[in-house]
Amino acid sequence: MFADPEPSTIEAKALPSSWVKPELRHVVREMPDACERLEYVGKMTEKAANRVLALIDDAKPACDEVRSRGQEIADAMTRLADSPDFDAARARVLMRMCAEFATRAATFADKQNSVLTEVMMAQDFQDLSGQVINKVMAILWRAEEELRHVLDDGALPEVAPAQATGQTEELKGVQVPDRAMQQDDVDDLLASMGF
* Residue 148 belongs to domain with CATH number: 1.10.287.500
In a domain, residue 95? The reply is: yes
Q: How many domains does the chain have?
A: 1
**Coil, helix or strand for 179?**
strand
Look up the domain containing 131 and give its range.
33-156
Res 10: pLDDT: 46
Residue 71 lies in a domain: yes
* Residues whose CB falls within 8 Å of the CB of residue 136, separated by 6 or more in sequence, listed in order: 34, 37, 38
Cβ atoms 135, 37 nearer than 8 A: yes
Domain assignment present for residue 133? The answer is yes
Give domain status of residue 24, yes or no.
Answer: no
Which residues does 91 contact at the CB level (< 8 Å), separation at least 6?
A: 80
Residue 189 placed within a domain: no
User: 14: pLDDT confidence band, cut at 50, 70 and 90?
Assistant: low
How many other β-carbons are positioned within 10 Å of the β-carbon of residue 5?
11
Number of residues that make up the chain: 195
Closest C-alpha among 56, 57, 45 to residue 119: 56
- pLDDT over threshold 70, residue 194: no
- 51 vs 43: CA distance, rounded Å: 12
**pLDDT tens digits along 28-78:** 778 888 888 888 888 888 888 888 888 888 888 988 988 898 898 889 888
Residue 80 has pLDDT above 50, yes or no: yes
Contact 138, 38 (CB under 8 A): no
pLDDT at 133 over 80: yes
Q: Does some domain include residue 132?
A: yes
Query: For residues 129 and 44, is the Cβ–Cβ distance under 8 A?
Result: yes
Q: CA distances (Å), 73 to each of 60, 66, 89, in order?
A: 20, 11, 16
Q: How far apart are CA 195 and CA 192, in angstroms?
A: 7
Asked if 27 and 146 count as a contact pair (C-beta separation under 8 A), the reply is: yes
Is 109 inside any structural domain? yes
Q: Tell which wins on pLDDT, 187 or 14.
A: 187
Provide the pLDDT for residue 15: 53
pLDDT band at 135 (very low <50, low <70, confident <90, very high): confident
The rounded distance, in Å, linking the Cα atoms of 74 and 76 is 5
CA dist., res. 169 & res. 105, Å (int): 99
